[in-house]
Chain A
Amino acid sequence: MNDTPMIEVVNLTKRYAGHTAVRGISFTVGRGEIVGLLGPNGAGKSTTMRILSCFLPATSGTVRVAGLDVFRDSREVRRRIGFMPENNPLYPEMRVREYLKFRARLKGLGWRRSRQRVDVVTEQCGLTDVSKRIIGQLSKGYRQRVGLADALVHEPDLIILDEPTAGLDPHQIRAVRQLIKGLAQQHTVLISTHILPEAEMTCNRMLIMFEGRILAADTPDNLQKLMASNSQIIVEIAAPRLELEECWAQIPEVEQFNVSAVDGDYQRCALTPRNGEDLRARIHLLATQRRWVLRELTRSRHSLEDIYVQVTKPEEDN
């Protein structure tokens, strides 16, 4: 039973009248993973999540959650999923506790069980102080926690959160992230976001989506390694230009270089090392040997931000 992946998406396509939101994507998510679905607005993240949570049908392709088809065993799948849609819609006129209880009952929990679970998730999401307040009067951060508590209340195997930190202030974002990280032990989590550091911090795997396709899928570390091959070393050094160029050409690990004069005797060089090798120590030695003054020596490490921007850049800029 535990061998079946939590989510299994094969060739999923979703066409709306007039445009295609998701174009034949495939991915799997194993049990206990926290996976981030990353991409700019309109990349097809929300559509994918809506299909996973049985709200929309797929145009073609198969989607399975815990081995169950989302179209044929829709209700059974919904029992196993805790879904928080984009913008976290709630009933503003209800009180927090009342709402959570209503949701627990709706999800088929027994009377006593729903009371227990509401107590647990109220505590877990830090809602104890506001449990008697009306949802419409709560701050956005608290409302987001109510949405999270609702997604958790029936102890689902899979939690799907569509942009859980959108519109929160930094403190609230941190709190929500902590909460999500805490879920990892018992649940599989799929989060969508267009904010990169968020995915970087919370997820152990990322799927980068753009225009309905998955462009990259890997751990944040691996994605960074992937980018390291394109990293650059920036050197600012006081040396005669010709000598300097000759010097770079002699180092086999330097694939490309670009030298430009800055101010005074200083030259600014941008080196592209082969396979992302770190040449800083060698450059330092070289400079001291030749008694050149070294003013700057940095290796530009690409953050995931660069990967994201590069991968999701529109075609014409590439």
Chain B
Amino acid sequence: MQAFITLVRRELGAYFVSVTGYIIIAAAAFLLGWSFDVLMRGLQSEATSQPLTEIFYDTLMFWIILLLLAPIITMRLFAQEKAAGTFETLMTTPVSDLQVVLAKFTGAFIFFIVMWLPLLPCLWIVQHFGGSPVGLDPGALGATFLGITLIGSVFIAMGCLASAITRTQMVAAMVSLAAGFSLFMASFIPERTGTGASDLQAQVLACFAFRDQMRDFVRGVVDTRPVIFYLALTFFFLFLTLRVLESRRWK
């Protein structure tokens, strides 16, 4: 446990002592601010019954932030240590592979959550100055952040895996970007197949419909199926990452 906490602190520290951390947060704040601007314009025209979080989600900045910034957060995790050789000093201390994987994931994940925090003041400003017709339901807000957390953990875990299989940060970023984008695009398959898909196919596709599932979250609807699906995916990717680290010791 001591090693785990030490490692998480070092991971978080690495984001904040280098410029990368601040660039990522600045980029996220910029994109959130942009979506905030779009949201304000939308509210000016006519009254709406949609919750604020959903209007924000409709700007699609959510996906740009997630798809672009998650790979940048995760690319350095293993690849940088391998390239610099510090992976050797790290793995020759008495820490287990599992501790390393979990600590790297946790560090990146905490940073990811911090990156989303500027969303809160944005929404608060709209609600505070927008008057009563604009709804900011705490339930919807909570569900939105739950969705961000869960989908984020899937993408961060995927990024961990991508970073573990290479020693070049750019390759890690590209692999996780491509994988993340493909996963996101799966949400659009049902529109194309229409009624042509069988029941089973439709069910499987519904599982991977990240876009629609996130829409439920921003409306304040928490369905247990996607929650479990996201957790399972996260564990799956972390398990593979652990395997990649262990493969070093295979004979």
Contacts and interface: CB of A to CB of B under 8 A. Distances in A.
How many chain A residues sit at the interface, stated as a range, is 20 to 34
Interface string A75-98: 110110101111101110110000
Nearest to A89: B85
A103 interface: yes
Given A93-B14, A93-B17, A93-B18, A106 B95 contact: yes
A89 B88 contact: yes
A55 B7 contact: no
Contact of A78 (B84, B85, B93): B93
Interface string B1-12: 011001101100
B91 interface: yes
B6 A105 contact: yes
B95 A57 contact: no
Interface in A17-68: 50, 53-57, 59
B92 A54 contact: yes
A140 interface: no
A54 B3 CA distance: 18
B129 interface: no
User: Which among A50, A87, A91 has the highest number of chain B CB atoms within 10 Å?
Assistant: A91
Nearest to B99: A106
B208 to A, nearest CB: 36
Contacts of A86: 85
Interface in B130-164: none
Contacts of A59: 251
B251 A57 contact: yes
Given A89-B86, A93-B18, A106 B92 contact: no
Secondary structure call for the B interface: helix
A78 B94 contact: yes
User: Which among A71, A79, A93, A150 has the highest number of chain B CB atoms within 10 Å?
Assistant: A93
B94 A90 contact: no
B128 interface: no
A249 B248 CA distance: 64
A89 B92 contact: no
A107 interface: yes
B6 A102 contact: yes
A89 B87 CA distance: 9
A219 to B, nearest CB: 29
A108 interface: yes
A84 B93 CA distance: 11
Interface residues of B, number: 26
Contact of A55 (B13, B86, B88): B88
A105 B89 contact: no
A156 B84 CA distance: 24
A75 B92 contact: no
Given A93-B14, A108-B3, A103 B93 contact: yes
Contacts of B251: 57, 59
B96 A106 contact: no
Interface in A105-138: 105-108
A107 B10 contact: no
Contact of A90 (B17, B86, B248): B86
A170 to B, nearest CB: 25
Contact of B3 (A93, A106, A150): A106
A85 B87 CA distance: 10
Nearest to B16: A93
Interface in B156-183: none
A16 to B, nearest CB: 12
A91 B3 CA distance: 17
Contact of B92 (A78, A90, A105): A78
Contacts of A89: 84-86, 88-89
Contacts of B13: 94
A86 B18 CA distance: 25
A81 B14 CA distance: 26
29 contacts: A53-B92, A54-B92, A55-B91, A55-B92, A56-B248, A56-B249, A57-B248, A59-B251, A78-B94, A81-B92, A83-B89, A84-B89, A85-B85, A85-B89, A85-B92, A87-B85, A89-B88, A90-B86, A90-B89, A91-B14, A93-B17, A93-B18, A94-B13, A102-B9, A102-B10, A105-B2, A106-B95, A107-B93, A150-B89
Given A89-B84, A93-B14, A105-B6, 10 more contacts: A53-B92, A56-B248, A57-B248, A57-B250, A59-B251, A86-B85, A89-B85, A90-B86, A103-B89, A107-B93
The 3 closest A-B pairs by CB, nearest first: A89-B85, A105-B6, A78-B94
Interface of A: 50, 53-57, 59, 71, 75-76, 78-79, 81, 83-87, 89-91, 93-94, 102-103, 105-108, 150
